[in-house]
Structure 1
Amino acid sequence: MDSTYTIIIADDHPLFRNALFQAVHLAVSGANLLEADSLDTLFSILSREEDTDLVLLDLKMPGANGMSGLIQLKSNYPDLPVVVISASEEASVVSQVKKHGGFGFIPKSSDMRELVAALHQVLRGEPYFPENIKLNTAQADSLAEKVATLTPQQYKVLSMLSDGLLNKQIAYELNVSEATIKAHMTAIFRKLEVKNRTQAVILLSELNE
């Protein structure tokens, strides 16, 4: 395969990053491989590497909560193929990855042969989703559709809510006023069709199960 691919491995576990590194080298000899151990690092690399061909993204790493990393990536880089690599292999998670624009889903339980085959497929421009995971559940789709209407900033606020932060703490973290956070909350509740923060947090937890 072409050796000019630039691929970013975004995962905060060094051991798994190393396994992915080996799999990518087996699939694409001589690829330009970059590593990110947090969402901030990933965006920093992307700002420098404008010709990135593929991002391999772990859903759970610093700066990401559930689908937030994928949502922010697709919002900022709509044309960039993002393949999620996750230990969560439930059909609802795979469904959400597909719904939010993921180009593929590779379970962390995959062996090296499966990893290499999946990478070959996505680099040919064909999405990869495991055949043994049945995508469905109208309820998960409905929840995902509602969450997909949130802006990246609103999703960030919702994620911080689910972490138990108060309005003033969220305002401090995001360097905005409390009034701005309240405006975000109003918009979040309306889009998710809930009445309060408790219902919003429950809904997010259902989505991330």
Structure 2
Amino acid sequence: MKDMQDAAASGTIGPVLIVDDHPLYSDALDAALRMVFPECQPSKAQTLGAALELLEQGLAPDLVMFDLKLPDVCGISGFQRLHEALPEVPVLVISSLTSVQVVQALMQEGAAGFLPKDAPAPLLREALREIAAGRRYVHAGYLGETVSEAEAPPFEAMHPKLAELTPQQKRIMKLICAGKPNKQIAYELDLAEATVKAHITALLRRLGVQNRTQAAVLVESSQPATTIGAADADAQAFLSR
């Protein structure tokens, strides 16, 4: 981060990795980036796998601009993998998935900032300058918004079928909705991963759905809308993966 701050102070920045599967939008990010840092050196990847390959080949970016909806990304785990690979590099997430829950999860996981994809170019430039200066940036529409457990309805009240789950299955279902992979669920509940898989198989059967995504969409779509983007079906599905 210090190198990035020094670069920002001198009006330049080095390598930047843009991860977005839409070439036109990726080009737009490139153009906006060069308006702030004319000497930057953008590299582009259309999938998380391609981005990780660039890192393995020696790319050492000062900044990553990351879209959440990629062909090989399932939920927040895609951002988590990238952040694990580059723990000291700021990652600005720019996405059409704009529910408050998604934004909160990203910031808690270590994102340097978040912008919705429809943000105007001046706002993007402001975010880039803030992050380059070592600060975190979140679109003003999300500041001060919180979604606490105390405000949420009882889990089983969200959908009649949830009342049919056992207490352990409900705990697992909540973690699925938070975007946790099986390994992480096993760790947090102190269970064997095979046991978690067995519980998930059973709860899917009880809920009458085929997979984790459908189960979480069932839960998320039953929740009342809260704030910005909460009614977006894509955003509701994101945390389920």
Q: Give the alignment's TM-score, normalised by structure 2.
A: 0.63
Match of 1:57 among 66, 70, 75: 66
Which of the pair has more CA radius of gyration? 2
**Aligned residues: CA RMSD:** 3.1
Higher RCO (Cα < 8 Å, 6 or more apart): 2
1:39 paired to 2:48: yes
Return closer, same or farther for 1:112/1:201 CA change in 2, 3 Å cut-off: closer
Counterpart in the other structure of 1:74: 83
1:85 paired to 2:94: yes
Identity among equivalent positions (%) equals 25
Contact 1:104 1:129 in 2 (8 A): yes
Counterpart in the other structure of 1:21: 30
What is the rounded CA distance, in whole Å, between the counterparts of 1:50 and 1:36 in structure 2? Answer: 12
1:94 paired to 2:103: yes
Counterpart in the other structure of 1:130: 139
- Tell me the SS of whatever aligns to 1:33: strand
What is the rounded CA distance, in whole Å, between the counterparts of 1:203 and 1:4 in structure 2? Answer: 44
Counterpart in the other structure of 1:107: 116
Q: Gaps spanning 5+ residues in structure 2: where?
A: 1-7, 153-170, 185-191, 221-235
Q: CA deviation at 1:74?
A: 2.0
Counterpart in the other structure of 2:203: 196
What is the rounded CA distance, in whole Å, between the counterparts of 1:144 and 1:29 in structure 2? Answer: 43
Q: CA deviation at 1:93?
A: 1.5
Return closer, same or farther for 1:62/1:75 CA change in 2, 3 Å cut-off: same
Offset from partner CA, 1:127-170 (integer Å, 9 cap, x none): 1101112431124999579857647xx48xxxxxxxxxxxxxxx
Contact 1:83 1:102 in 2 (8 A): yes
Give aligned pairs, total: 178
